[in-house]
Homo-oligomer: A and B are copies of this chain.
């Protein structure tokens, strides 16, 4: 029978490191974790892991509850998390919350508490207390938690630093009249809105402007009716029809950016010739769009690694204080900001 020590030896690490790596602890470097997982697979140690799971009353299933599966960002993120879960010899099951409280409750109550060893949850309508009650004590890791006083471990997308980088990039390529599409300026006055994804991306923009010595005007910040291509396209029509001057646009998601660029094209405004546009998320289609889309690409593998690592640590009984990690990002400059 293959033991943890065999895996550690094959991977050239200590037994403790191997054990941490197999639990997906984020303190172990990704390259080391990979080496340990490869050794475990080569020695068929995962079989023992599964057997251990069964003995300990675990199902080996990890829940992934995500808002909308038919948009590129949530589906690519679910796929990245599924792959990371599989790397640990476990199975991911994905559920759509459809941003409905009813559906979020059903997932936590039926799937998380009864079937899964733990769940990675993108919360929309349920409170921390409800999550705790409904999940029946099973570990939960939140994505982009908006709680000011976090109860659960969570992984955040790099909203502030990414948005700041987007604005700096537009300035660097020569833009002087920048529109921000995704949130209106006054939303920060709303209760808890500053903790939301849109609020945090807005704060990143404001930080960038301040650091650059620019005083932005509230009319530069536009909110489409939904964070979707269709609404962004309509907004672009309105902006052009109103004669608003601009030479650069930061859209808070890639889907918004693609819809906005399409809306500009409908009115004869070309990107990047007439205006540079940058998005956020790093979805696959950015590279194939005409023009290819510059974006703040959230490192989805890193996000998946951190979320699964935090969850497995709790499943294995870890009782560290609540942790909030942020996924890495990189700025990918493509045709849409080539001026």
Contact = CB atoms under 8 A, between A and B. Distances in A.
Given A69-B75, A110-B61, A290-B290, A258 B284 contact: no
A265 interface: yes
A160 to B, nearest CB: 26
Interface string A283-296: 01101111010000
Interface in A86-122: 86, 91-96, 98, 103, 106-107, 110-111, 115
B61 A70 contact: no
A285 B284 CA distance: 12
A199 interface: no
A75 B75 CA distance: 6
Given A91-B110, A289-B290, A290-B289, A103 B86 contact: yes
A43 interface: no
B111 A93 contact: yes
A243 to B, nearest CB: 23
A94 B75 CA distance: 11
A305 interface: no
B70 A110 contact: no
Contact of A261 (B59, B106, B258, B290): B290
Interface residues of A, number: 43
A115 to B, nearest CB: 6
B95 A92 contact: yes
A265 B94 CA distance: 37
Contacts of A94: 69, 78, 93-96
Contact of A288 (B79, B80, B258, B292): B258
Contact of A95 (B75, B93, B96, B261): B93
12 contacts: A60-B110, A69-B78, A70-B76, A70-B78, A79-B96, A82-B96, A82-B98, A91-B106, A91-B107, A92-B96, A93-B111, A233-B288
